[in-house]
Structures are given as structure tokens and as C-alpha cells.
Amino acid sequence: MTIRTVALVTPPYHSGVVETAGTWPNAAFVYLAGALREAGVEPVIYDAMTMNHDLEQIASELERIAPDMVLTTAYTSSYPKAATMLRMAKETLPGVITGIGGVHAHFMYEEVLGRDGDAVDYVFRGEGEASLPELVACLNADDDPAEVAGIAFVRDGHVVATPVRPWHESLDALPTAWDTVDWDLYRFYPLPDRHLAVVSTSRGCDQECTFCSQQAFWRQTWRARSAESVVDELEMLRDRFGVGVMMFSDETPTLDRERWERMLDLLIERDLGLHLLMETRVDDILRDEDILEKYREAGVRHVYVGVERTDQASLDMFKKNTKVEMGKRAIELINSLDMISETSLVLGLPDDTPETIQTTFDLAVHYDPDLAFFLTIAPWPYSDIYAELEPYIESYDYEDYNLVAPVVKPKAMTRDELMEEIIGCYRRFYMGKLKKVPSMTKTKRDYFTITMKLLMENSYLRQFMGGLGKMPAEVNELVARFRQ
């Protein structure tokens, strides 16, 4: 069999509040498609998740595409759906070769191949832009895949894991295939008339947060694209594909201040008119206090910073390397420039009680972000904090590891009680925000009202936020507008 066409398919998995923001293309697939095309193989990106296709529809589409190889990617909570989809692909397309990449498969390749070896032929570990075309060439030549670095597979009943491939030295040199994206699928809901793209400006994380998968996956390394390369890509996406909203996918695009300021200067100089969404660390916001005006001028409109907890003991346990007061100051600075501030707080640790959750909620209100998400701790089986959480894990269904469903049972609470407390945090936080709508700037008022409407209509919170209780007349009028 010769591999001529490779289908890159997102698993049909949906969860939580993330999807209330919008829909965006899988940037990893864009890079893999570029690498395949450069190697003379036809890539097809099929976003089954965004298209809300079920397994029957996916099977029909795969029959139409008729690929020789079907690949997917998964994080822990999406892995079960990904494995089911690959199993269906094998049933639909006899002889098709399947593979999976992503953080979960990278770390859990032995479990993946042990449990789902009937569905998964190859696991890609680390970056796939070199491993994938090399494997395709190897299989087409009927050579030994054990010679391909960065993969794992089963041979004679045993898992074979090849050596980890070194990181790409130059991210600027990686080819992309943005033209394979169906841009009509992707919108940022607060600005629905604009296409949304996700762009990677760097790869890696040099931090050591114990609950996070990124620092472990990247082995605490960080590499960046040049400022010129990033801004050139943003300009190309605007001009060629009509993209008006760009989301930076990397955790710390600001890590290298000199490079970051150069990027801001280029964006200001070219005046691209883009709406930029980004994530960074609170300490980088504090470091950049003297240039935050450039963020705004360059088009940054929405900044997420991970506060995570509002007590120092938990931050120290998480190895966040920040102080509690730094989170509040960072949010104040973001708010002062009329940028949307967003943060998350992690609840459901073994020692959490209704009282500690109330304290976290009170401080979240005091911090005053525009958007706050109260997330449950997810015990990724490959995270540094896993051993500490393992005695308290009550669900081993990976689909629950979505930062929404409680997986860990606190010592003094049931998981149902924990969920009630979390929903109470959401309800009280956003009802409190609703009361402040008349005093918000127009930018924040418009953004917030659209976001609230989306939260109430499109997410798992809808069932809990329907009963808004007794509110001032102007708030009741606003809520009525949400439901129109």
C-alpha cells in the first residue's frame, strides 16, 4: 500500500466553557499538513469536532476522502473519543493506517497501544513535523519504522518506542498549509463577522507548575519564532484569508521581552487592524507595565493570566513562582487599559472545603477580572502533582478530566457538593458582574453582554444560570435582552 493522502481529523469531543468563545482551526494540523505537502503527500484537514459530526457522519466523510492514513490528536479528556474514532476509521476503511499525537498520547503511549492497539497503529511523541513525513516515506518504501525517531508502535506483542526526536532548531523554517483550512467554520463569537485563527509564536514553557502538562511535554524548554516571522504570518492571514481575530496559542508569547516588544512595534508600524487574544503570566504583565500601552496599540484586546489560587500555600504547592498580590496587580493593569481581563481559579484540591472555596471566591471578586472561570483540578496521570492527588481520585474516566467535572474528591466534601460550590461561584460572580454593567466602558459592556449571552445559551452553565433570582430592574432588562 502506498500512502498518498493523509486525513488529519479532530475527534468529536466537546466540553465545558471553552467552546463558548468561538471556533478555531487546529494549528498543529496546519503545520503537519505543510510538512506532508512538502514531502509530496496530499493532506486533508477535516474538523469533525467543529462541524459537530457524529461517528456515522465521520465514517461517511472518510469514505468520501478515501485517505490511506488517518491521524488525530488528543488531550486527556478527548482521548476516548479519539480512540473510538480511529477504531471506526479502521472498520470503515479496511487497510487504513492510523496514528495519534498530542500530549496524552506522548506520555501514555504504552497505555494507548496496550488498550487501543486495535485502533491505533502509531503514536507520535513530541513534535510531528519531521516524524510524520519520515514515517510515511518509511512505510512507502517498506522499511523498518523502528528507524523513525519520535514514534511508538506494537511489534510482536510488544511496544516499541523509538528515541525522542530533538526539537526543531528553527520554528521560522517550518512550512504551513493554511489554504487547507475551511475558514467558513471559524468565528470569534463576540465578533462573529471576523474569521478566527490560532497562531503559534513560540513553543514550550520554562516553568515548573506541578499541575500542568505543558512544562512536562516541552521538558521546560522554550523556543520562539522571530517577531518578523509572526507578524508576516498575521498579515498574510488577514490579507489572503480575511482573518480579523488572532489567538496566540502559546502559554508565554511574552517570555523574551526584547522579541515581544519587537513584535508589538511591528504590529503598530503595520497597523494591521487585528483583534488579538493572548495568554501570559502575571509576572510578565508586571514586568511590562512600562510598555502595556503598546499591547493596546498593537491590537491586544483580551489577556488571560492564570491566577489559579488566591492563597500563597497553594501557589507554592503548584510551583507557580508568583505571589498572590501579583495576580491582583496584573489584572488591575490589564483593566486600566480597557483590555478584557480573564483568569481561572483551580478548585477541588484534597484540602478544599466550602470555607476555602468561599475565600477563593471572595478574593476573585476582589481581583475583579472581567471573566473568571472556576475550574476543577484535573489529575493528569503524567503531571508532577498526580502522586499527591491519586489517593483522592474517584473517576478514572478520562472524559471527566476536562477541568469541569470533579474528578478528585476533597477530604471534607463529596464531588457533588464540590460541583454545587463551583456552580455557586459562577452564579454569584456573574450576577455580581451583571450589576456592574451600567458602569462599564462601552468596550467592556459590549464584550461582557455578548459573552454572558453565550455562557447562558451555549455552555454547561446554562442549566444553572437560568434562575437569576431577584435582580435590579435594569439587570432584569439586560437579562431579557440576552434571551432574545
Q: What does the block give as the cell for 374?
A: 472556576
> What span, in angstroms and rounded, lies between the C-alpha atoms of 80 and 133?
26
Specify the amino acid at residue 54. Answer: D
Q: Which domains occur in the chain, in start order?
A: 5-161 (3.40.50.280), 186-482 (3.80.30.20)
Average pLDDT for residues 146-160, to the nearest whole number?
97
Q: What is the pLDDT of residues 248-293, one digit of tens each?
A: 999 889 999 999 999 999 999 999 999 999 999 888 999 999 999 9
Mean pLDDT score across all residues of the chain? 88
pLDDT of residue 184: 95
**Could you tell me the pLDDT band of residue 384, with boundaries at 50, 70 and 90?**
confident
User: What is the biggest distance separating any 2 CA atoms in the chain, rounded to whole angstroms?
Assistant: 73
Q: What is the pLDDT of residues 62-93, one digit of tens each?
A: 999 999 999 999 999 999 999 999 999 999 99
> What span, in angstroms and rounded, lies between the C-alpha atoms of 50 and 54?
11
Q: Worst-scoring range by mean pLDDT, 10-19, 76-85, 123-132, 394-403?
A: 10-19
Say yes or no to pLDDT of 309 above 60: no
Q: What is the pLDDT of residues 2-59, one digit of tens each?
A: 999 999 999 999 875 566 678 999 999 999 999 999 999 999 999 999 999 999 999 9
Say yes or no to pLDDT of 323 above 90: no
pTM score of the predicted model: 0.90
> What span, in angstroms and rounded, lies between the C-alpha atoms of 45 and 63?
14
Q: Is the dihedral of CA 438, 439, 445, 451 positive or negative?
A: negative
